[in-house]
């Protein structure tokens, strides 16, 4: 495999990320999308680049010149939230998802988070197994929440050395 790199996303990466989000929705592992592609690109550009939430980070994974995955996250009150992750199917089971999560967890630790949290549809067994291998554990369960699907909340606590007294850390 060619060189794998992970970098901060640029505004020109938005169509790629939107395509990945829509692919995840088509696979049933992400929320349904009720926007046209053009609307989705415009809305995601606003969300990620024009008016991002505090502590927002969007990373892109590339192999050579090809973008193969992304992860986005935010930090709020000392907790790092993984918002979404997707790797193209032909690149799965090669450690790319782990690299994306590891890079994001590292950024959480640098920003003094005491834990990482994410949500996953309860029927997404492959993702649950993946996060379990990365030492995430189930912290909660939402019955028939979004789109009437059950959602598992998973968390991973960090070493106490990463505790913060002020959750308003920035990137």
Residue 169 has pLDDT above 70, yes or no: no
Domain 4-162 is in which class?
Answer: alpha beta
> What is the mean pLDDT of the segment spanning 124-130?
96
Query: pLDDT: is 25 or 100 the higher one?
Result: 100
> What is the mean pLDDT of the segment spanning 13-33?
92
Instruction: Specify the pLDDT at position 148.
Output: 83
What is the spatial distance between Cα 137 and Cα 29, in angstroms, rounded to a whole number? Answer: 19
Query: pLDDT: is 40 or 164 the higher one?
Result: 40
> What is the mean pLDDT of the segment spanning 139-157?
91
3 Cβ neighbours under 8 A, 6+ residues apart? 63, 64
Residue 76 has pLDDT above 90, yes or no: yes
Tokens read off for 26: 């088509």
> What is the mean pLDDT of the segment spanning 22-47?
92
What is the spatial distance between Cα 156 and Cα 41, in angstroms, rounded to a whole number? Answer: 31
Structural domain spans, the chain? 4-162
> What is the mean pLDDT of the segment spanning 127-152?
92
Torsions phi, psi for 86 (to 5 deg)? -155, 140
Q: pTM, whole model, 2 decimals?
A: 0.88
């Amino acid at each position: 495999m060619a060189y794998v790199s992970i970098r901060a996303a640029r505004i020109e990466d938005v169509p790629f990320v939107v395509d990945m989000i829509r692919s995840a929705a088509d696979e049933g592992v992400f929320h349904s999308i009720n926007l046209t592609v053009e609307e989705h690109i415009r809305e995601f550009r606003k969300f990620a680049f024009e008016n991002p939430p505090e502590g927002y980070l969007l990373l892109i994974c590339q192999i050579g010149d090809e973008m193969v995955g992304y992860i986005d996250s935010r930090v709020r009150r000392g907790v790092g939230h993984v918002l979404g992750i997707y790797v193209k199917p032909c690149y799965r089971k090669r450690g790319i998802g782990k690299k994306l999560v590891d890079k994001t967890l590292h950024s959480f630790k640098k920003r003094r988070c005491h834990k990482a949290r994410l949500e996953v549809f309860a029927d997404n067994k492959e993702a649950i197994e993946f996060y379990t291998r990365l030492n995430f554990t189930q912290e909660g369960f939402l019955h028939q929440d979004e789109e009437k699907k059950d959602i598992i909340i998973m968390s991973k606590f960090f070493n106490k050395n990463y505790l913060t007294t002020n959750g308003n850390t920035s990137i």
